[in-house]
Structure 1
Amino acid sequence: MTTHHDLEDIDYTPIKELTGPGEARSNVAVLAELFPDAVVDGRVSLDVLRDLLGEQAEASGTETSGLRWVGIAEARRLSTVPATSTLLPRPDESVEWDSTKNIVIEGDNLEVLRLLRRGYTSKVDVIYIDPPYNTGSDFVYEDKRSSTVAEHEADAGLRDNEGATQTGEGSDRAEERRQSANLHAKWLSMMYPRLLVAHSLLKETGVLIAAIDDTEHARLKLLLDRVFGAENFIASAVWQGGRKNDSRYISVGHDYMLVYAKSEGALRQADIRWRETKPGVHEVLDAGRNAWIEADGDEVRARKIMQGWFKSQGEDSPIQAMARYTYFLPDGGLARDDNITWPGGKGPKYDVLHPKTGYPVPVPERGWLYATPERMQEAITAGQVIFRDDHTKPISLKKRLEDVTGQVVMSVFERQRTHAGRRLKELFNGDAPFEFPKDTEVLARWIDLVTRSSKDALVLDFFAGSGSTGHAVMDLNATDGGNRRYVLVQLDEPVNKDGYKSIADITRERLRRASKRIAEGLTLESAEIDLGFRSYRLAPSNIRPWDGTGELSLIEAVDNLVEGRTTDDLLVETMLRLGIDLTTPVDTRPVAGSNLYCLGHGTLYAFFGENVTTEESNEVARALVEWRDENPVESDITIVVRDTGFADSSAKLNLDAAVKQAGFTTFRSI
């Protein structure tokens, strides 16, 4: 049997010792590349770093503006701590496990985000979160560092060994202020590390949308300024959700959506603009095409038909905003009259003759839009200029509707919150298990907006609640046949609902029901959309840690797996540690009494068999070479094995020699 010292001569780097982006060791490595003088033996000299940064470095203890609270340093540190847990795959809770690219994870979202960081850094297009609003109810995100009121006061220097340092009726340490300060600090310390890790997951053109109410709006704005940079703040959208007639002073029925770009500069450099389709524009375009066909290409007749059509529409219809689109281009394209003058004035002035009277039309004070008479004549010949009945009236330019179907979104919008609850109630046949679901139509609208209707967007929500974000993503895909995918994370928070042990149970059931409902209404264009999800649960690592004392016993060396864990569980932990997307294609072949896994079409192979003999190690080596030769890849190939999975050292040495001789060079162990 293998002992700890038997295999010291074969050095496969354990995957648990690898580091990833955003973790403390990786941050030090980045600093070492930028400022090698400041890093010695893996330790950072802050004094040297300040010298190298010059006047841009802030001296220790300097008072600066911005958000501060007791516990900020510890909260920041939590974002750099490597994940120590794993995710257990749950195909039994999933829908279309083998084909879906969507993911639902149950467990503390800070640890889950740290687990996802290696595989999803700079890959997420949009993060939508609706975090706890900190209304004073029991706080469920403890992170092993949330403080009691007394601990908060001690950290803030307001309490010593003898008790509170300020007492008495006139003290500014009134009970409600003490409770409030502690409550806000706990909430900020909960949000800060999660936002720091989430920031790293976004693409450079990615966007975060955070819903919040008045209680923490100001603090969350300052916190996001700290994490994202104030220069990347886009807007604080106001969602008016209804009237509260029982309010004593003002009906506060609104919430906010704080919108931040990962890099507003990257958006600007790519000339990215957010636009949404004007309501009713497709109906207007269809009416225009029908009018053109009915008029047999006669613009005068087609105009009359369009004018009559607009009059037949309701006065309050959003279609009326496009009522000026009654002109037509020679190809039948619907258009409206628009300015044909030089922007800002001082444009060219020349005669433009009316086609019927032959006299010049009025020359605008700002001059013509086109620099030369020849260019103007090209526009006239192309049917892009509108002439009135005679030369005494100014002319206009035709502006094609299809070129301006988008509009800028207003920062204030109204949508009754009761719609979301009613829709969820209908989905659950009249018995909604979740009281305040997010509105899928609002989410779909904003996700579509900030991703510029990208059909391949990756959407993350790490306060998933009832799963509205996943539902919204499926709705969007059903609308346009898109391939958007979602990653949802929900704490295993218990609930008192019949049939549901936790909110995560509700999340999964809502997605199951929503996918069935959506499937019933799919069109040919959207028939192949992804309506499934893979379910995972956060759990301690599959590998029982060695405490470092003495040698591993024979039993422990062979059976170091947590009881009940499988090789599939080991594979997921391997993927997380190596930074591999959880939905990467996986193929398996039975080899030597266990599964040999092939990931990414041949970039990684994993074998977690136990008590593998020398003969079986030869079988594994042959299978690896055969599979590699069937699926040749240009990139490096990694092999991962279970470090204590061999019957003896000769079996491991045999496999090591065989695969190295076959050309494999990168090895890891778990």
Structure 2
Amino acid sequence: MEEISAKPYDMIQSNIEKISQLFPNVITEIIDKNGKLKKVIDFQLLRQELSGEIVDGDFERYQLSWPGKRQAILLANTPTDKVLRVNKKESIDWENTGNLYIEGDNLDVLKILQKSYMNKIKCIYIDPPYNTGKDFIYKDDFRMETSRYLEKTGRNFSDGNELDGRFHSNWLTMMYPRLKLARNLLRDDGVIFVSIDNNELYNLQIIMNEIFGESNYVETFIWTKTATPPSLSNKSRKAAEYILCYEKNISGMKYFGSKLDNGDAPLLNSGNPIRVLNFPKGSIRFTFLKEGRFNAGKYDRVELLKDFEVKNGTNNEEVLLKGEFKWTNEFMMNEIQKGTYFIVKSPKFSVRFQRTDSEERYKPPANLLDIELNKNNGVGTNESAVKELEILGMKGYFDYPKPLSLIKKILNMVIKNDKDAIILDFFSGSATTAHAVMELNASDNGRRKYIMVQKPEPISEDCIAYKAGYRDICQIGKERILRASKIIKEQTGADIDYGVRVYKLE
């Protein structure tokens, strides 16, 4: 005999679930009178779904809206009444260091940083809580009861239906003001990277388009997070996460990927060698480069049959070229000034170049960050990140940490040639970003500084870190910085900034 539920049957919610099976696009979210989020039906949109003609309604516009958006915008502009207190006891080399570790809610901290660091941050990397329904949710004060933040694992209803615990509105309301404040801190040539999984990838991109501008979108990098994805679904095995990249103001700045050799490389399509011409600086003119029309992009690689004029002393030679041109006029002239010379080959008259300077050159990074496809310049997985913590004597202290190689590769894309850059991570977690900055500095004697911000979230009593004597995430993050700096100094002997100033939000 079946059990009889003692809980009341919610017929309205049951009907909403049934309608959502037929028309999932008409389901939206609102805040009820108790300050809680709930699923409801957009009746205007449902009418349209059931009509063969356009149904009159509000003016249509492209936007992402959710319950709490106006409060999120207001909160970003509301001053904080909190302050930062110095903690010299836990700091290292207080008088000389430029690195910061700040304990406290990042929303308040970002507001405090506006005064001292506005337009000063070169690169921001964050790995915020993913909206899985189980992650910690930042309970901001939106002048509503905290009950609006539903149980992290979802809500069960008497009929067996379960509302999805991943309410988009909660997560978006948490992220929006923080991203708005973060943008103010970026330099005009600043770049932000945000790690995310598939649950909020598209919503995140929409709000970042709104905050940073769609024209400032750079790329969605795909990171292979594990070599052994679990079979938790009969649809797919999830092996990848994503990293959204935006610039504060889009520019022609080159991102650094894998290193290129300075040796003989093709400028035009293949041919057989006949002779080598070594031209002095400034002695070449490519007369087929007109108005900068032939760029390196895939849409601009065209077949050419133009004149190639060489001025070598008093002799001028004209050579016909036919091939796929890959360089812009400006880039070509810069190469000539650096001393690059060109090898002319026949009978197809292809041209190759040979650089004579010692400057290192790099390809732009691939948008796939994968250890298998990029063996010489790949990135690690969650598994390798666990091993990195083990080396530090901190095995099991964090779940799903990001690997050092991933953070270093991301940062290196934009700060490789900026040895004085400031890097901000306001979801610091295990402080991998601070560790990565120190290793990058040790590799090239850089003077880059980091700012880590982390809420002192208590850790569970049954976890390994708690049994080792740690009580919150900040204690673990600071310990990692201490241990990493010691190992880097022992292994490299680099004379860099190993210190950190610790502040606490009050």
The equivalent position to 1:260 in structure 2, one of 215, 228, 246, is 246
Counterpart position of 2:453: 489
Q: 1:394 to 1:347 in 2, by over 3 A?
A: closer
Matches within 5 A, 1:176-575: 176-177=162-163, 179-180=164-165, 183-242=167-226, 243-247=228-232, 248-264=234-250, 267=251, 271-278=252-259, 281=260, 345-348=304-307, 363-365=320-322, 384-386=341-343, 394=349, 396-400=351-355, 402=358, 405-415=361-371, 416-428=381-393, 431-496=395-460, 497-498=466-467, 499-523=469-493, 526-527=494-495, 529-539=496-506
1:95 aligns with 2:54: no
Counterpart of 1:112?
109
Q: What is the rounded CA distance, in whole Å, between the counterparts of 2:485 and 2:158 in structure 1?
A: 61
Task: For residue 433 of structure 1, give the secondary structure of its aligned residue in structure 2.
Answer: coil
The SS at the match of 1:227 is helix
C-alpha change, 1:180 and 1:146, in structure 2 (3 Å) is farther
Query: Contact 1:88 / 1:538 at 8 angstroms: preserved in 2?
Result: yes
Task: Tell me the SS of whatever aligns to 1:85.
Answer: coil
- How high is the TM-score relative to the length of structure 2? 0.68
Q: Which amino acid letter does the alignment assign opposite residue 250 of structure 1? A: S
Work out the CA distance in 2 between the residues paired with 1:346 and 1:537.
Answer: 67
Aligned to 1:614: none
Moved over 4 A (4+): 146-153, 327-331, 339-344, 349-353, 365-369, 401-404
SS at match of 2:430: coil
3-state secondary structure, aligned to 1:501: coil
Distance 1:180 1:330, change over 3 A: same
The one of 80, 85, 104 equivalent to 2:77 is 80
Counterpart Cα distance in 2 of 1:106 and 1:481: 28
CA contact (8 A) 1:241 1:253 kept: yes
Alignment of 1:39-188 (within 5 A): 63-137=60-134, 139-145=136-142, 176-177=162-163, 179-180=164-165, 183-188=167-172
Task: Quickly say closer, same or farther: Cα 1:366–1:483, change in 2 above 3 A.
Answer: closer
- Contact (CA 8 Å) 1:347, 1:366: kept in 2 or not? no
Note the C-alpha offset of 1:230: 1.2
One-letter amino acid of the counterpart of residue 492, structure 2? L
Work out the CA distance in 2 between the residues paired with 1:117 and 1:85. Answer: 13
Distance 1:538 1:368 in 2: 57
Q: How many residues align?
A: 387
Encode CA deviations 1:509-537: one digit per residue, 9 max, x unaligned. 000000000111224xx32x101101111
1:579-598 matches, within 5 Å, as none
SS at match of 2:471: strand
TM-fit CA distance, 1:149: 10
**Partner AA of 1:348 in structure 2:** D
State how far apart, in whole Å, the 1-side matches of 2:66 and 2:220 are. 23
Post-superposition offset of 1:476: 0.5
Q: 1:175 to 1:329 in 2, by over 3 A?
A: farther
> Which whole-Å deviations, capped at 9, do the CAs of 1:579-604 have from their partners, x for residues lacking one?
xxxxxxxxxxxxxxxxxxxxxxxxxx
Q: 1:384 to 1:107 in 2, by over 3 A?
A: closer
Could you tell me whether the CA contact under 8 Å between 2:123 and 2:414 is conserved in 1? yes
The letter of the residue matching 2:236 is I
Please report how far the alpha carbon of residue 437 of structure 1 lies from its aligned counterpart in structure 2 after TM superposition.
1.5
CA displacement at 1:427 relative to structure 2: 0.6
Alignment CA distance shift 1:516-1:222 (3 Å): same
Residue 230 to residue 365, structure 1, CA distance change in 2 (3 Å): closer
- Structure 2 residue ranges without an equivalent (≥5): 1-57, 151-156, 265-271, 280-285, 295-301, 327-335, 372-380, 461-465
Alpha-carbon offset, residue 72 of structure 1: 0.7
Structure 1 residue identity aligned to 2:498: L
* Cα deviation, residue 447, structure 1: 0.9
One-letter identity of the residue aligned with 2:500: F
Equivalent position SS for 2:306: coil
Residues of 1 paired with 2:112 and 2:310: CA distance? 70
CA shift, 1:84, in A, is 0.6
CA–CA separation in structure 1 for the residues paired with 2:340 and 2:115: 57
Q: For 2:126, give the aligned amino acid.
A: I
Q: 1:330 to 1:201 in 2, by over 3 A?
A: same
How far did residue 229 of structure 1 move?
1.3
Please give the alpha-carbon distance, in whole angstroms, between the structure 2 residues aligned to 1:407 and 1:463. 30
**How far does the alpha carbon of each residue in 1:319-375 deviate from its partner, in whole angstroms, 9 at most, with x for none?**
xxxxx9xx99979xxxxxxx998665352278999xxxxxx9974357999xxxxxx
**How far apart, CA to CA, are the structure 2 residues paired with 1:180 and 1:490?**
24
1:125–1:202 Cα contact (<8 Å) kept: yes
Cα distance in 2 for partners of 1:383, 1:447 equals 30
Query: 2:433, 2:253 → 1: CA distance?
Result: 24
Distance 2:59 2:149 in 1: 22
Instruction: Supply the AA of the counterpart residue of 1:246.
Output: S
CA contact (8 A) 1:420 1:440 kept: yes
Deviation string, structure 1 residues 239-272 (Cα, Å, up to 9, x no partner): 01223252422111100000011111xx2xxx42
Partner amino acid for 2:171?
Answer: W
Aligned partners of 2:168 and 2:146: how far apart in 1? 11
Measured at CA, do residues 225 and 364 of structure 1 come closer, stay the same or move farther in structure 2, by a change above 3 Å? closer
Aligned-partner Cα distance in 2 for 1:136–1:97:
40
Distance 1:80 1:431, change over 3 A: same
Percent identity over the alignment is 32
Distance 1:462 1:152, change over 3 A: closer
Question: What amino acid is the match of 2:123?
Answer: V
Q: Contact 1:351 / 1:363 at 8 angstroms: preserved in 2? A: no
| Counterpart residue type for residue 240 of structure 1 | T
Give the partner amino acid of 2:88.
Answer: P
CA contact under 8 A between 1:463 and 1:490: conserved in structure 2? yes
Q: 1:175 to 1:66 in 2, by over 3 A?
A: farther
Greater gyration radius? 1
Counterpart of 2:463 in structure 1 is: none
> More helix per residue: 1 or 2?
1
Deviation, 1:226, is: 1.4
